[in-house]
Amino acid sequence: MNEQTLLNELLKIQSVTPNDNGCLELISGLLQDSGFEIGRFDKNGVSNLWAIIGKEGPIFCLAGHTDVVPADKEHWNTDPFVPTEIEGKLFARGAADMKGGLACLVTAAINFIKNNPSLKGRLAFLLTSDEEGAADFGTKYVMQELQKKQIQLDWCLIGEPSSSERLFDFARIGRRGSLSGILSIHGQEGHVAYPQATENVMLTYAKFMYAMDKLDLGRGNTFFPKTSFQPVYVHSDANAVNVIPSSLIARFNLRYSDEWSFETLSSQIEKILNSLSCQYKIEWKNAGNPFITEEGHFSNVVKDCVHEVIGDELTYSTAGGTSDGRYIAPYGTEVIELGPINKSIHKNNEFIQLDHLALMTKTYERILEKMLT
């Protein structure tokens, strides 16, 4: 089965998150035929596949997801679950995010094993059906289970759509942290004519905003843009023009570079709040710590292989939203995301360029050869 045939089969399966609906069954059959040992870590309606081949040594893991976001048939030109080829493009939900990358990863691995039966190290797959949803019982859960079995992943290549304008112009080498704060400030209700007797929570909030705006959040670095602070909500009201309200609630988010950690960033902000000598409460929600795969052997191999197969330069970035890389990297695994063009993902009429498939498979296969032989 070549990558396009496999992709077609996967696209026909309505695997709307978190319902795998048989995708992993199809893939595990193919991997088993190639000699992979198959393990399943299904949990709470989420399907997870772990497959591994090789006797010993470092583990190179290929990772991804079979689930897709829903598709509203009404707004598509073709049936989103009937892969349709039009002028060199294959239209279907999941074509780019990420059954395209997945079909090419699986095909590359099978080709690689056929040509290199005695690999150096081990090759594994970690696939889930819960990346687009809550993501609690997908990759995050499998990583916890692998940790219990003392299985350590050394490198991980994820076929997520990382490319922007042309195939493999960008790969993701890390991701910014995301920290949200829910702040409540408590003062004292009072008459506007007698402000000296009260503490106006809105003035306190204004001072906090001013201090945050002035706060030096760093400059960013080669891979991370400058940390940004964005207030997103504020509310305070005493329902009368002559009454100072007694409390205020506000929310804000920071996308932060690896110059910060959750601890350093949150304590810096609490320091500012403490300096305002007001009564406040803050609830932190840290959606993910920043991570970066240091430039080295793995990133050089990926860059070289892209150059060799595509003939263009690959740029590493940390832009974009979340992916399962955030659950893998904290275990000390070097993670790189390299996949198709992401312009149509999560949109109506999602597609993948058909002539990109063979190039993707070839690049993935070269990466495996350079890392595992």
What's the min distance (Å) between Cβ of 6 and Zn ion? Answer: 17
Our CB check for Zn ion shows the closer of 4 and 66 to be 66
CB-nearer residue toward Zn ion: 3 or 160? 160
Residue type at 207 in one-letter notation: K
Omega before 18 within 30 of 0, i.e. cis: yes
For Zn ion, the closer of residues 48 and 227 by Cβ is 48
Look up 67 and say whether it is catalytic. Answer: yes
**Could you tell me the smallest distance in angstroms from the CB atom of residue 215 to Zn ion?**
34
Q: Tell me how far apart the alpha carbons of residues 346 and 200 are, in angstroms, rounded to a whole number.
A: 45
Which of 20, 97, 334, 350 is in the footprint of Zn ion by CB under 5 A?
A: 97
CB 65 to Zn ion: min, Å: 6
Query: How deeply is 106 buried, as exposed, middle or buried, from its count of CB atoms within 10 A (0-12, 13-18, 19+)?
Result: buried
Q: How far is the CB of 71 from Zn ion (least distance, A)?
A: 14
- State the Cα–Cα distance between residues 307 and 78, nearest whole angstrom: 35
How many residues belong to the site for Zn ion (CB under 5 A)? 3
Q: Kindly state the tokens that stand for 182.
A: 């829910």
- Examine residue 98 and tell whether it contacts Zn ion (CB under 5 A): yes
Q: For residues 302 and 314, is the Cβ–Cβ distance under 8 A? A: yes
Is residue 130 involved in binding Zn ion (CB under 5 A)?
Answer: no
- R_g of the chain, CA atoms, integer Å: 24
- Token reading at 335: 């993670």
Q: Which of residues 148-207 bind Zn ion (CB under 5 A)?
A: 160
Contacts of 149 (CB under 8 A, 6+ apart): none
Is 348:72 a contact under the CB 8 Å cutoff? yes
Give the active site residue among 3, 20, 67, 199: 67
The one catalytic residue among 131, 258, 334, 337: 131
CB of 44 to Zn ion, least distance (A): 20
Candidates 3-11, 91-99, 271-279, 346-354: pick the segment binding Zn ion (CB under 5 A). 91-99
> Between residues 3 and 97, which has the closer beta carbon with respect to Zn ion?
97
Tell me the C-alpha distance between 136 and 321, whole Å: 17
Measured from the CB atom, is 199 or 324 closer to Zn ion?
A: 324
Nearer to Zn ion, 172 or 362 (CB): 172
What is d(CA 324, CA 158) in angstroms, rounded to the nearest whole number? 9
Name which of 150, 123, 137, 131 is nearest 331 in CA terms: 150
Binding status of residue 337 toward Zn ion by CB under 5 A:
no
Q: Least distance in Å: CB of 325 to Zn ion?
A: 11
User: In the annotation, is 165 catalytic?
Assistant: no
Catalytic residues: 67, 131
Binding site for Zn ion (CB under 5 A): 97-98, 160
